[in-house]
Amino acid sequence: MATIKEIARLAGVSRGTVDRVLNNRPGVKPETAQAVRNIMEELNYRPNLAGKILAAGKQRLRLGFLIPDGPEFIFYQDILRSARKKAAELEDLGIEVLFYLISSLAPQALAPVLEQIQADELSGLALNPSGNPQLLALARSFADRHAPVVFYNMDEPGEPRLCYVGCDYRKAGHVAAGLCAMAIGGVGTVAMITIFTATVPSFAERADGFISELRQNYPGIHLLNGGAPTVFFHNDYSAVHQLFRDHPELSAVYIVNPGDFSVCREAKRAAGDRPLRIITNDLVPAQREMLREGVITATLGQQPELQGSLPLQLLYEALVYGTAPSSSCLYTQLNIYLPQNV
């Protein structure tokens, strides 16, 4: 989407000049105004309706984007970058986006952030509810005053929200099972590994999809412990090393929620010289390196860039144009990454 900033750059004028041309205000030479209009026409720039709606209501929309941030939330960095880029586009339309970064879901860490969100009187909000009671209560408070909320990355279908933008985790589990089966030729023993995430819905849905796919379509694969995962903790991989000591027959592992992704190297190290296929999720810089090195066999991406930009776009369209999303769940693509395509 073309922006006022881009039009101003191409026309060699300030953004203020472009704004005056858009709103037919005086102070611009006729030839300059025509040049700006020509560029807008070439770029198919059509912001007038949004601007008129905002001006008529004498309002400046303020959106919020709540997102985890810290060493344990590496995956969210791509979401944040994309959301900030989208925010810059919306700024040209007179819409402000405020970002709220949280380093923990602990009640004492969340409380001041949630207080600030309420004080900022946002028109709409994008957040990952994470199954957290405080965040769900926040979403309900927006619904109570008819302000739209978009969930991204994790959904809570029973909660009031405009829609969900993110992964279909059960389907991701199906695909991961298929990748495991292909990697070991349809025969062998497979285990699941995850960081301690007892309350995270994404694990349960991925695991359910993984288990059901193997049971229904791959009789030659033995799922260790009936699918009960080996659980590790941040910076404590002793359970992973014990898993490989107890089960030298392991052919592959599905690392469902990998934390900061260091567990991938630990699993490879624990396996020693035996062949091991590792399937996991997401694609951060560390994983790109591990794919190239042969540590990871394959990983499933879930379009974090879209999870950053689309929620803000949907909030904008709902508030300015009154339009609803095409579906209550807008699922991202499940992109398969191998050493050959990173």
Are 172 and 209 contacting, i.e. CB atoms less than 8 angstroms apart?
Answer: yes
Per-position pLDDT tens, the chain of length 342: 677 778 888 999 987 788 778 766 677 888 898 898 888 888 887 654 455 445 445 467 899 999 999 877 888 999 999 999 999 999 888 899 999 999 888 899 999 999 999 999 999 999 999 889 999 999 999 999 999 999 999 999 999 999 999 999 999 999 999 999 999 999 999 999 999 765 567 889 999 999 999 999 999 999 999 999 999 998 899 999 999 999 999 999 999 988 889 999 999 999 999 899 999 999 999 999 999 999 999 999 999 999 999 999 999 999 988 889 999 999 999 999 999 998
CA dihedral sign of residues 151, 70, 83, 57: positive
If 0-12 CB within 10 Å is exposed, 13-18 middle and 19+ buried, where does residue 120 land? Answer: middle
Kindly give the pairing relationship between strand 230-232 and strand 188-195: parallel
Cα–Cα distance for residue pair 187/275, rounded to 1 Å: 14
The long-range contacts involving 290-296, CB below 8 angstroms and separated by at least 24 positions, are 290/261, 290/264, 290/265, 291/337, 291/338, 291/339, 291/342, 292/339, 292/342, 294/339, 295/264, 295/265, 295/268, 296/264
Cα–Cα distance for residue pair 173/170, rounded to 1 Å: 5
Kindly give the pairing relationship between strand 149-152 and strand 96-102: unpaired
Three-state DSSP state, 13? coil
Three-state DSSP state, 96? strand
Three-state DSSP state, 195? strand
Q: How far is CA 291 from CA 161, 206, 288, 295, in A?
A: 37, 21, 5, 6
pLDDT number for residue 24 = 67
Residue 6 CB contacts under 8 Å (≥ 6 apart), including other chains: 43
Q: Token pair for residue 200?
A: 């995270």
Residue 138 CB contacts under 8 Å (≥ 6 apart), including other chains: 114, 117, 118, 125, 127
Are 181 and 172 contacting, i.e. CB atoms less than 8 angstroms apart?
Answer: no
Task: Give the single-character DSSP code of 272.
Answer: T
**Pick from 162, 110, 164, 163: nearest CA to 137:** 110
**Pick from 173, 143, 178, 174: nearest CA to 158:** 143
Cβ neighbour number for residue 183 with a 10 Å cutoff: 19
Q: What's the pTM value of the predicted model, to 2 decimals?
A: 0.81
